């Protein structure tokens, strides 16, 4: 196992696909993402906005107080890989 700290590129990619996975699983309002990951609100919001850079399409449904995100298209990301490597992704990101 490589004991070096993962690169910012790797952690950014993992964070994005993990948030997409959570949205797809119904953990989709920002407060629920924050509760699940422990990430700051701004990080969660920025991560959701950055999903489009990976070709992942999300849509915001509802109002500002009761809105949530819905995943529309995974783009080139293979959801099965995320599911099969979920613990590794969480370990790299140091998420519970």
Secondary structure E strands in the chain: 57-61, 68-73
**pLDDT higher than threshold 70 for residue 95:** yes
The fold of 8-93 is Arc Repressor Mutant, subunit A (1.10.10)
> d(Cα 7, Cα 48) in Å, to the nearest integer?
20
* Residue-level pLDDT at 82: 97
8 A C-beta contact, residue 79 and residue 19: no
Q: What is the pLDDT of residues 17-69, one digit of tens each?
A: 999 999 999 999 999 999 999 999 999 999 999 999 999 999 999 987 789 99
Q: How confident is the model at residue 3 (pLDDT cuts 50, 70, 90)?
A: low
Domain locations in the chain as residue ranges: 8-93
pTM of the model: 0.93
């Amino acid at each position: 196992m490589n004991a070096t700290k993962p690169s910012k590129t790797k952690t950014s990619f993992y964070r994005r696909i993990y948030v997409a996975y959570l949205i797809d699983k119904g953990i989709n309002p920002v407060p629920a993402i924050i509760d699940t990951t422990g990430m700051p609100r701004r990080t969660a919001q920025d991560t959701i906005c950055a999903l489009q850079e990976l070709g992942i399409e999300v849509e915001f449904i509802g109002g500002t107080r009761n809105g949530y995100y819905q995943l529309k298209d995974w783009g080139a990301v293979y959801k099965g890989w995320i599911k099969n490597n979920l613990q590794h992704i969480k370990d790299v990101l140091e998420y519970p």
